[in-house]
Amino acid sequence: MTSTTTTKLTATATNKTSCRRQKQGRFRGAFLLLSSFVKMSKTKRESDITWKYCESLPTNRLQVKCKFCSHTCWGGIARMKHHLAGTKKDVIPCCSVPDEVKAIFFKLLEDKGKKKEEMNLDCGEVRKNDLQQMTINASYKNKEDVIQEICNCIYGNALPFNLVRSPLFIQMLKAVGDYGKGLKPPSYHEVRVSYMKKAVDKVQECLEKYKSD
């Protein structure tokens, strides 16, 4: 056997050993993860008071049996709580549960409902504040863009800067804002003829009124 062949066989054996170790490592990691999940589930189950008054049927983990009336229901202990509390929500009430146990579960469900309602209110308030802030930011950004467009118009047409102090300029902007989105600018003919005539007629009307007074 040559030295080259020996080297190849050694490399192949090393690769196989490495792959086997990687597979063993992945299997060990998955096993530890599953064991941790089972342990957490068991701890959570043992800490729930509902399991004192019901038991899980061997055939299905989601089917539980009441220890007082032997009623079985689907949905796990979430529905069993309503059964013991007598709320009649998606399950018949227990006819044999002691009053003190019934009061315990009724209080648990009531507190849970209040906590959920408070969380919804908090989330709604946060969302409302976020929307308000977004609206403020958007309004500020839109205002900056609009002002820049107005200034560009003044710069591009070599208009005097004191135009912005004119009451007619301010009145024009107010009218545009009141009209809202979708306003089309006047055409060249409208500015030069149609609306020019209207403006002249209005001035003449004011002069005639002034003369009559």
Q: Is the pLDDT of residue 22 over 80?
A: no
pLDDT at 129: 66
Amino acid identity for residue 30 in this structure: A
Q: Is the pLDDT of residue 205 over 90?
A: no
Angle CA(43)–CA(45)–CA(48) in degrees, nearest 5? 110
Over the stretch 149-192, which tens digit does the pLDDT of each residue have? 899 999 999 999 999 999 999 999 999 888 888 889 999 999 89
pLDDT at 143: 81
Nearest to 42 by CA among 29, 31, 32, 51: 51
The Cα 49–Cα 65 span in angstroms is: 15
pLDDT at 130: 65
Strands of the sheet with 54-56, listed across from one edge: 54-56, 63-66, 72-74
Q: Is the pLDDT of residue 195 over 60?
A: yes
Q: Is the pLDDT of residue 134 over 50?
A: yes
pLDDT at 182: 86
Residues 6+ apart with CB under 8 A from 150: 173
- Mean pLDDT, the chain, whole residue set: 77
Q: Is the pLDDT of residue 46 over 80?
A: no
Domain range list for the chain: 1-47, 183-213
Q: Average of pLDDT values for 119-133?
A: 65
Over the stretch 52-111, which tens digit does the pLDDT of each residue have? 999 888 766 678 899 999 998 887 788 899 999 988 888 899 999 999 999 999 999 988
Token reading at 13: 């054996």
Q: Is the pLDDT of residue 41 over 90?
A: no
Residue 200: Cβ within 10 Å count? 10
Residues 6+ apart with CB under 8 A from 35: none
The Cα 107–Cα 208 span in angstroms is: 84
pLDDT band at 15 (very low <50, low <70, confident <90, very high): low
